[in-house]
Structure 1
Amino acid sequence: MTTLTGAAPPTHSTPLAFARGFLTGGVVGASLAALVVGAITETVPLFVAGFVLPALYGLLLFLAGIPARAREAAVVPRTALAVIGSLKAVGSETSDPPVRFELTVAPDDGPAFRVDVTQDINLVDLPGYRPGGVVVVRYPPDRPWRARIVERPTPQWEERAASARFDAVPGPAMAAEPRGSQAVGFVRLFGLLVGAALVVLLFREGLFGRDDGAQASPAARPSASAGSSSTVVSSVSATATLGSGQSFLDPGELDRAFDALTRGGDERQALTVVVQERLLSIVFSPAGARTPGFDPRALPHGRFPALVDEATATLGARSPHTWRITADRLTGSLVIRVVATGAGGTASLEADGRGKVLRRAPAP
């Protein structure tokens, strides 16, 4: 009887594992924050990005892993004898229950090593496996933890298994699939926090100041104000607020507000534009980003009062309490949506970039 010794070398986390962990955490954090912030600020593109970002990242990981999977598939598996140290059925719901084996694998051209494998074994064949028994296994030489018991070996290997006698390697299993270390877990958590914080910081004006005119932050650049109105313009958004008793449906108010927020000659594209009774907000496209933006100055401002009147009067929402106009290009073409809520319910309509009504949804 031969006593086997030896073990597979331990695995370590690599810089690539740390980078991938940080990037994965960042994508998860940014996606969750985009969903929450997009819902709170009613920024549709940001909310949609919360779903699109992880899907694109998953696709990127899949494409990046194609060469590695091709290399793994090209590796010729090895066949060797193994002695069963112990076995335990970990399920019994079917006729082929999963069985956990502790095996000592003895390659012909290398040191022996221990490995834990779980494999479905038919109940009829289960009595043939016992501690101390010798079986034939097949495994990739670079991934020994994927060893599988060959249930129907060739006559040559079956004869070798029947005549072999050797002891198991003592101690715990040494060949195991590499797992992320605690350090990688901390890096992943750090990436999650960084991704979430980045989204919150980029949209902090719309998140914390959309009801009170958004007090100017250090990064914001305040513009001139007239009377009781005020405007705040930053690199990612702009807001204009009117005082009590004023409305953006008053003649000339929207023209003056858009001129102040876009700085006259500012050609930045907008992701969304939202107009309420005394609040106008614009979310700009990030510099260099290929997003479906539009020129906010090209909106048909003069048609907005008529659209609100139609939503509140002809669509059945009598005595409106609130109304909102939203403009975006999420579907490819510019769409203007008007929603009015009053005692008669909620009415809405959609118009194109020239202010022509396309669809109506009267209040119940």
Structure 2
Amino acid sequence: MASSVRRFVAPPVLAGALVVAAALATLAQGIIGGTTWMLLVGLTATAVVLTLLGSLADSGHGPGVASGLRSGGPRAHAPAVVHGVRAVHRRTGAAVVDGQRHSSVFVFDLTVVPDEGPAFRVAVRHPLDVQGLLHRTRAVVAYDPEQPWRVVLPDDPPRPLLARAQRLDDAAAHGAQRPAQGLPPGAHLLVTGSILAALVVGLVRLAG
């Protein structure tokens, strides 16, 4: 709970939320006040903001795609079963042939088998095949125990875990479910911005 609150009031979120709030407040004032120019400016600004937030939310390219680890947040390592690897376009998520191109990334379909808690399945995006998973069926991941949808492939995983991963049985991945996802990227900006916009509009109406 505390980490979620801190994320909503983090300086980058507040800075972006002010832009969102300005657009939404201008639109609301244009609708309530009936000022044509303010309504047009608000509509344009809100359309631009929502388009940008939509692009940010789509950056994961679908459910089940892992988010990165939080800076300074908890992390643990665990072995994983590799179900498949594919190359996709970095922005659109469409399948591509050459995963080595700058515009593409690899998507690793994994089942993570942690020491504590049930196994869970997740797709991890990475621009490089850092663990040679194109030719292997086992990997080691770093993940957030509090938010298991946050998973990355470390460049240099602990050797004991590499050995343990190689001994992992396929049965360990049976029945794995995808972890519940957190809010999509950009949601904190939209929520915080909407709250700020409502406060601004309310104060303006009271003052007027």
TM-score (normalised: structure 2): 0.50
In our comparison, the structure showing a higher alpha carbon Rg is 1
Higher normalized strand content (fraction of residues)? 1
Q: Report which structure shows greater RCO (CA 8 Å, sep ≥6).
A: 2
Higher normalized helix content (fraction of residues)? 2
